[in-house]
Amino acid sequence: MAVEVFDGNTADPKTLGSQIKKLRHRFKLSRVVLVGDRGMITEARIRDEIKPIEGLDWITALRAPAIRQLVEAGKIQLSFFDERDLAEIQSPDYPGERLIVCKNPLMTTRRAKKRQALLEATERELDKIVAATQRPLGLLKGEAPIGLRVGKVLHRFKMAKHFRLDIREACFSYARDELKIAEEAALDGIYVVRTSVQKAALDTEEAVRAYKDLGQVEQAFRSYKTIDLKVRPIYHYLVDRVRAHVFLCMLGYYLEWHMRQALAPLLFDDDDKATAEAQRDSPVTPAKPSPSAQDKARTLRTEDDFPVHSFQTLLADLAMIAKNSIRPKLPGANGFDQITRPTPLQRKAFRSPRREVVTYPVDASGISQLSHSSNRLRYHPRRSSG
């Protein structure tokens, strides 16, 4: 486990090179497959930092313009999806790589609705500008003033490519570009997974699953930033203290991950993911909860008839256990400590199946950037948000 903190003005793709060095040299990994979204593993990063290293492969996805080029070249045909929702293709533009074309019907519907909503919102704002060029008082005129207002609207909704504009000195009009809208709609729900991993090591469906597992990373970031640990705001101003703060929060998330695995039967979390995965027809289709998870969500009770909890409410329940220091006032009586009697739910939580605990040695150099002492980590919060 490792975490690294960069300056705030560092672009995400620029952080990839140092992580590759860490995996190869610090952790001594000879074979690595990087999985990243299209904003992290970019064409430049693949060309300059990944391809030159032997034993380093990647899984990412193509951007929309690249997908459109494949469609125009005839490499992607909509007939691919008449019977299946994924197909593997090859293109001379990506030598030695595999391209897996996927179509998600749910994503198709969502994108169509979102586009329609953005088009309608843009038209409402553009209609206001048209009205401003026709009103008797406070008339809006001039190509520059009209263009400035139109530009603000298009920049806000990112819909400039879907409209034809006519800006003149004393009037303004617009119309939808139905051809471009139809071209974009044809690609709704289609994404292309790009990978250098050979098929013998990772088949088509496994490659798609590996890319879609990035959803777990997004969930981890939400938990890390806003839901559970709330790493922000950081009330520290020295570099070492900021790094220590993030380091401890990372360890906190590591602990939370293992707790969720052990306590899954008591939580709304799916505790039978193998069954949930087995009932999926394809890795492209959205994941469905297992029957046991659906029963918990419907009845709000576990199989043992305990109330189902979220991770936060279960921790709050376990926090009710306390150690009371009892000091009798009777002459000669000795004081003693007594832990409150756990409830059935608390006993169930502590009887959850134990998992293997692995300890990792940390040398002094690994701690030196967090503390001035090599034998322990010092954490000096100036102010803490909890």
Same domain assignment for residues 348 and 239: yes
Same domain assignment for residues 152 and 90: no
| Position 150 in a domain | yes
177-231 pLDDT tens trace: 999 999 899 889 999 999 999 999 999 999 999 999 998 888 888 888 888 888 8
Same domain assignment for residues 83 and 48: yes
| Position 248 in a domain | yes
| Position 261 in a domain | yes
Within 13 Å, how many C-alpha atoms sit on residue 253's CB side?
22
Amino acid at 293: A
| Position 193 in a domain | no
| Position 132 in a domain | yes
Per-residue pLDDT at 367 exceeds 50? no
Same domain assignment for residues 17 and 68: yes
Tell me the pTM. 0.76
56-83 pLDDT tens trace: 999 999 998 899 899 888 888 877 787 7
Per-residue pLDDT at 366 exceeds 70? no
Residue that is last in its domain, among 52, 72, 97: 97
What is the rounded CA–CA span in Å between residue 60 and residue 192? Answer: 9
| Position 64 in a domain | yes
Same domain assignment for residues 231 and 170: no
Same domain assignment for residues 240 and 327: yes
Give the range of the structural domain holding residue 354, as residue numbers without chain letter: 213-267+309-386
| Position 197 in a domain | no
Same domain assignment for residues 228 and 373: yes
Same domain assignment for residues 366 and 258: yes
Residue-level pLDDT at 353: 60
Same domain assignment for residues 38 and 80: yes
Residue-level pLDDT at 229: 86
Residue that is last in its domain, among 37, 72, 97: 97
Same domain assignment for residues 111 and 180: yes
Same domain assignment for residues 31 and 177: no
Give the count of domains, the chain.
3
How sure is the predictor about 136, in pLDDT bands with cuts at 50, 70 and 90?
confident
| Position 380 in a domain | yes
Residues 6+ apart with CB under 8 A from 192: 61, 62, 66, 67, 70, 76, 99, 100, 101, 102
- Spatial contact of 115 and 181, defined as CB atoms under 8 Å apart: yes
User: 347: burial class by Cβ within 10 Å (0-12, 13-18, 19+)?
Assistant: exposed
Residue-level pLDDT at 322: 92
